[in-house]
Amino acid sequence: MLVKLGPLDSGRIADLRPYFDSVPDPRARRGRWYSLTAIMLVCACAAVSGARSIDELAEWGQRASTALLTAIRIRRHLLRWRRTPAPATIGRVLGAVDGDALDRAVGAYLADRHRAATEPAQASSPSGFGPSRVIAVDGKALKGSARLTATRRHLLSAVTHGTVVTLAQVEVGAKMNETTHFCPLLAPLDLTGTVVTFDALHSVKSNISWLVETKKAHYIAVIKTNQPTVHAQLAALPWQSIAVQHTASGAGHGRRDSRSIKTCSIADKLGGIAFPHARLAIRIHRRRKQTGRRETRESVYAVTNLDAHQAGPADLAAAIRGHWGVENSSHHIRDVTFAEDASTVHAGTAPRAMATLRNLAIGALKTLGADNIAKTTRAIRDEHSPSWASPTIRTPTELDQTLPLKDTDFAARPACYLKSSHRAQAIAGILFAW
């Protein structure tokens, strides 16, 4: 699995440290032993290895080599009373850190990595809007953060299609507050020429007007009965006389799906529809046959300000389906691989900070070409050396003595060739050069 990531050389690694340096430290100066950047780097490296809890974040630091901890700038204690941040220290820092500043830092880091990873694809196909130019806005609840006296946290994120990275994230309190945080979420991003997709909850006319007029972006908005006038106008269009322009089908997980799309230009001089800047009306017809059940059919309507020459039916279908693919490419991974819904972290900003670290891990691995995050994190975490299975080797020190590789050999080698005690170096190499 790790062979797909290729050599982790400086050309493919963006240094995470300057981004963390921009996050203000919430602690008092007195009694501070580890810098905030060092603590966050330990957490980031642990998240890339699949750490799910604060205890696992601290355990990664305890297993890391001295050379790596020095590169992270972990301050050594002269009497060796402490080596790496304890779980209590990490918990206090994550609970007090500025969530907005941390999300901005991680979002900027992932945006830079995503830009570097997708620039070749954009150069080869400058006419179409590729995956790097389509962003989905979607929310997610942190179910395990709920308590008797507090509701569960809810986050709203801007996630790229294709190579999935989270560019921005805000905490909204509850799902009903997502629409009011739509503009603040996207305001820091450069969206000129970008296509933004979202579900019916965010199809608010004032937000759409701001997106097009202020941010100079395009949109694909799903319309449901929460916009009754627009929905009735779209349903009344002469879809029966319009030929199917694109079809796609697939099978898996015990079901068969087929989707067809029709588009219809909207002429303003003929009245248009009651939705700002709408140029094309879209109807997607879905058929699903679950094993042992009757076939179900559904028609979904959408509108976009893209003209027919800017995006064909296949492009529109891919963008709409890609929006729902974010659920599998980001939210599902956070829930299953990183057990986010099962996490009971709830103090302060710690739930949001843990979600940010998971976004960082997913985005960093996706930009390196990992298509299965669960397998990749296991490959990074698990030991590959046969000597680890030997009953005569019990401690990390004994394990280090059995390995022929040196720390200085790491930068020139692919991650898949690193032995067990060098897995921490492999994780660090994904996030920063050292």
Mean pLDDT of the chain: 80
How many whole angstroms separate alpha carbon 154 and alpha carbon 378? 28
What is the mean pLDDT of the segment spanning 362-391?
70
DSSP H stretches of helix in 33-158: 36-48, 54-63, 66-72, 87-96, 99-124
Q: Rounded to the nearest 10 degrees, how much is the dihedral formed by the CA atoms of 306, 310, 316, 319?
A: -90
| 123: helix, strand or coil | helix
Please give the Cα distance from 163 to 169 (Å, whole number): 17
Q: Can you tell me the distance from the alpha carbon of 40 to that of 26, in angstroms, rounded to the nearest whole number?
A: 13
Token digits of residue 92? 């206090």
Residue-wise pLDDT tens digits, 424-433? 556 666 776 6
| Whole-number Å distance between alpha carbons of 1 and 70 | 28
**pLDDT: which is higher, 416 or 367:** 367
CB of 75 closer than 8 Å to CB of 38: yes
User: What is d(CA 280, CA 244) in angstroms, rounded to the nearest whole number?
Assistant: 15
Helices of type H across 278-312: none
- How many Å apart are CA 83 and CA 119, to the nearest integer? 41
Element (H, E) at 155: strand 153-160
Cα separation, 164 vs 404, whole angstroms: 37
Q: Highest mean pLDDT: which of 17-26, 117-126, 320-329?
A: 17-26
Q: What's the pLDDT at 354?
A: 92
Whole-number Å distance between alpha carbons of 155 and 47? 19
Q: Look at residue 322 and tell me whether its pLDDT is greater than 90.
A: no
409: Cα within 13 Å, side-chain hemisphere? 11
- Per DSSP, the three-state class of 39 is helix
Mean pLDDT value of segment 12-25: 81
Least confident window among 36-45, 76-85, 173-182, 329-338? 76-85
pLDDT at res. 403: 37
Strands across the sheet with 246-252, in order?
Answer: 166-171, 153-160, 134-142, 195-198, 218-223, 295-304, 280-290, 255-265, 246-252
Phi, psi of 97 (to 5 degrees): -65, 150
* DSSP classification of residue 164: -
What is the predicted pLDDT for the residue at 434? 58
pLDDT given at position 323: 87
* Three-class SS state of 15: coil
Report helix angle 423-431 to 36-48, nearest 10: 110
Give the pLDDT score at 388. Answer: 29
Q: Residue 247: beta bridge partners?
A: 260
Per the structure block, which two tokens stand in for 321? 């389906």
- Predicted confidence at residue 433, as pLDDT, reads 60
What are the CA-CA distances from residue 422 to residues 14, 82, 85, 398, 415 (Å)? 20, 22, 20, 13, 9
Contact 153, 142 (CB under 8 A): yes
Residue 230 exposed, middle or buried by CB count within 10 Å (0-12, 13-18, 19+):
buried
Q: Is the pLDDT of residue 301 over 50?
A: yes
pLDDT in tens, 156-187: 999 998 888 999 999 888 888 888 999 999 99
Q: What is the pTM of this model?
A: 0.81
Q: pLDDT (tens digit, 9 = 90+) per residue, 259-283?
A: 899 999 887 655 678 888 888 999 9
- pLDDT over 50 (residue 69): yes
Mean pLDDT value of segment 372-401 = 53
